[in-house]
Amino acid sequence: MTETPDWIRLQKALSVEAERGFTDLQGNQYRFHEFLCLNFGQSPPIGTSLDDRRRWQEMAVQFSRYPDLTLTQRQQLVAETRRFLQDLRQTLETPQEPPTPKLPKTAPVTHQTSQTRQITLDQPLSALVEVGYRKSDLLARLGLKTVQDLLFYYPRDHIDYARQVNIANLVAGETVTIIGTVKRCNCFTSPKNKQLSIFELLIKDHTGQIKLNRFFAGNRFTNRGWQERQKRLYAVGSLVAASGLVKQNKYGLTLENPEIEVLDSLGSNIESLKIGRVLPVYPLTEGVPADLIRKAVIEAMGAIAQLKDPLPKDIQNSYGLIKLKEAIANIHYPETPEILAHARRRLVFDEFFFLQLGFLQRRQEQKQTQKSASFNPRGELIEKFNEILPFALTGAQKRVIGEIQQDLKGTTPMNRLVQGDVGSGKTIVAVFAILAAIQSGYQAALMAPTEVLAEQHYRKLVGWFNLLHLPVELLTGSTKVSKRREIHAQLESGELPLLVGTHALIQDPVNFRNLGLVVIDEQHRFGVQQRARLLAKGQAPHVLTMTATPIPRTLALTIHGDLDVSQIDELPPGRQPIQTTALSGKERTQAYDLIRREVAQGRQAYVIFPLIEESEKLDVRAAVEEYKRLSETIFPDFQIGLLHGRMSSSEKDEALNAFRDNKTQIIVSTTVIEVGVDVPNATVMLIENAERFGLSQLHQLRGRVGRGSHKSYCLLMSSSRTPDAHQRLKVLEQSQDGFFISEMDLRFRGPGEVLGTRQTGLPDFALASLVEDQEVLNIARQAAERIMMADSSLKTMPSLKKALDEKYQRMLGADILT
């Protein structure tokens, strides 16, 4: 393995940590243990043995516990890790070419096949002997219509029956093949179920014997003639091969639902598609048998030679990728696990590469074809705003404002995502863009996902815009009809330069006279179509999207590959770290004591619940019921408020205003409090059933405290005893870094859960995993950038362009990303 910068950084990090006394050093972005967690959380280098892969993964877990270790334990872990990396490096140091995969050995086919007639890629599946017209309808349910469709229908997993062992060496949990002679065979109808036939086979080899069972349901199997044929087929003394998962039952070891085949002699070929092979497992739907796909794929293999590889050879060579034909053959029927790994890596690369190439090309085309207004990033309004700001901007805020202003000077529409941790000051950054639009004669719109967040933005903006003598209005679902009409009229006349709102902004009556800038907050909460409808209200407006839920780089590249990304990775001075503690139900009294102490000192507290009513299925405490209990039993001396999503807008406003004004000291709420609530006097956040939230959401909730000058606390109450839940909450205890937390959240929950069910536009990958294949995604992006620099139009690479047009559209469907 050639040394990579990440490899070097791992060694260097371990060395510096040892030199500085094992203090869990703080780096530019992560603490030492966080950096090691992230690196060992990624896939180990290609070529790593199974034992070393397990040890690599264990390292991630060990370093997640690093802050809790004693000095001696830290020294031992760092020393072991350095030795492990050194040994692994020596093992992999000699560069090796990937093995040249051979086409898989498939079962001999007795009927007419591709050897006697040509099979073509565009041929309908009904033309395959193994399929025919009747079965082709079954495969059509899976979207498979042609031979090429079938070849690119990848297995979701493989079962390795290729490992042959002696009976005495069987280990429960392994998938194996055994070969032995039949000692006894019996087949009979179950005395307890007349519809069930039981097949029993006792086989032996020179090391021992094993009893195998299979069960057949249905009248045809209880027929005496069928049962006698089974006995004759597996006559005593005949040689058989059997494959399956080794299971332990009350009688000893056996194979679960084994595949069995009679052999002519020891060492003779196994004819079965399953026995003694690495068996592909395909995604299925009801009514489609697995063997139909396996047999059809083997027949379709005759067309693999016709596949044209669209990937330039220099890209293949640079990144150590095998040829497409070899990858397709070995993703279905690999000869070895190593060849399967190379096949999968090539096909995963293709999925990421074509997506990234499509993103980059679309951004390039947008720059060439769409023209936006050029804004003046400096001017009187912005100078006045700088004067009235009561605090200094952070270095990160200044950097991001500079990036935005550079975009706004051009005539290409800005398409920038600003990621910033809770409290990093994204709204201020957006105001500079809004003022640049207004002083250039254009209107701006700011859309937020909830009324609470929209109103929070409106409150901030009104305070600043009044000092600048600029009007700003709020439009939500609860805005009165008369006020709506007034806002609509002012937008169409151009009197209103800035409108803040929720989904109400994308309703048809909302017409801007000259919309030049769209700001979308918490953009991941909006669907693709919702974002597109807002953009359609202007002529190629500049777009600034913001999120306080940092998206891991892999997700950002995958769903926002055509966006420019800015990160506000610095918090304003004075923000204190929030002391975070995971508690069990037994420690609830301690949580209540802390709340009581803080409120007695004039502070305030949140109590957060995941649901607003009892659910037998989820068994969570209900906010409404708990509100009554806390008010009457636990804190009868304090004023307690209630806030949840089913309250009317006026009721929510009343509850929030009472909390802001300290008329209520404790507010019991659902996650509607997650964003948009800024009460500097609140110092305690108690989150019930914390294991039911994602890490990023917990981090968001935690960000509601720690906004003032007083020390703040976040208490994560959990009833779960599972190690996974405990490990997830430990991440929150140990880190305040939203970017690190989002990476860990991705590893724990996967991309779909991290983005939320409302997010659309996540590409449809057949093989690629955003958690496991981060390294491949990064090199695919590099390769796509190389291609764009060489020939952005792809005129000199027609086969690549053709593949891009097909694959990119298929992965994204008809969706248009922001």
The 10s digit of each residue's pLDDT in 410-435 is 888 888 889 887 778 888 999 999 99
Q: What pLDDT score was predicted for residue 277?
A: 65
What was the pLDDT predicted at 618?
41
Mean pLDDT over 630-656 rounds to 85
Which pLDDT belongs to residue 783? 93
φ, ψ (nearest 5 deg) of residue 407: -60, -45
SS3 420: strand
Distance between CA atoms of residues 537 and 546, nearest Å = 20
Helix (H) or strand (E) holding 215: strand 208-217
What pLDDT, on the 0 to 100 scale, is given for residue 347?
95
pLDDT at 566: 86
Q: What is the mean pLDDT of the chain?
A: 82
CATH 2.40.50.140 residue window(s) in the chain: 163-276
- Read off the pLDDT of each residue in 148-155 and give the average, rounded to a whole number: 92
B/e letters for 783-803, b = 16+ CB within 10 Å, e = fewer, are: bbeebbeeeeebeebeebbeb
Evaluate if residue 103 carries a pLDDT over 50. no
Residues 667 and 686: their CA atoms lie apart, in Å, by: 10
Count of beta carbons in the 10 Å neighbourhood of residue 510: 20
Mean pLDDT check: name the lowest of 191-205, 222-236, 254-268, 656-670. Answer: 254-268
Question: What's the token pair of residue 757?
Answer: 């069910």
CATH among 2.40.50.140, 1.10.287.90, 3.20.20.70, 3.40.1280.10 for 163-276: 2.40.50.140
pLDDT at 321: 94
What confidence tier does 212 reach under pLDDT thresholds 50, 70, 90? very high
Domain with CATH 3.40.50.300 in the chain: 380-410+425-547, 579-735
d(CA 446, CA 453): 11
CATH topology for the 380-410+425-547 domain? Rossmann fold (3.40.50)
Q: Which residue has the higher pLDDT, 172 or 363?
A: 172
Q: Could you report the per-residue pLDDT of 361-414, keeping only the tens digit for each?
A: 887 877 777 777 788 878 888 999 988 888 888 888 999 999 999 999 888 888
pLDDT value for 363: 79
Count each helix (H run) and each strand (E run) in the chain, helices first.
28, 20
Which CATH number is correct for 579-735, 3.30.420.40, 2.40.10.120, 3.40.50.300, 3.30.428.10? Answer: 3.40.50.300
Q: Tell me whether residue 345 is exposed, middle or buried, using C-beta atoms within 10 angstroms of its C-beta: 0 to 12, 13 to 18, 19 or more.
A: buried
The per-residue pLDDT for range 604-628, each reduced to its tens digit, is: 999 988 764 545 444 345 678 888 8
pLDDT attached to residue 682: 92
Which of 139-148, 540-549, 565-574, 762-771 holds the top average pLDDT? 139-148
Per residue in 707-736, pLDDT tens? Answer: 888 899 999 998 887 877 888 888 888 888
Segment among 99-113, 256-270, 634-648 with least mean pLDDT: 99-113
Q: Residue 261: count other Cβ atoms within 10 Å of its Cβ.
A: 17
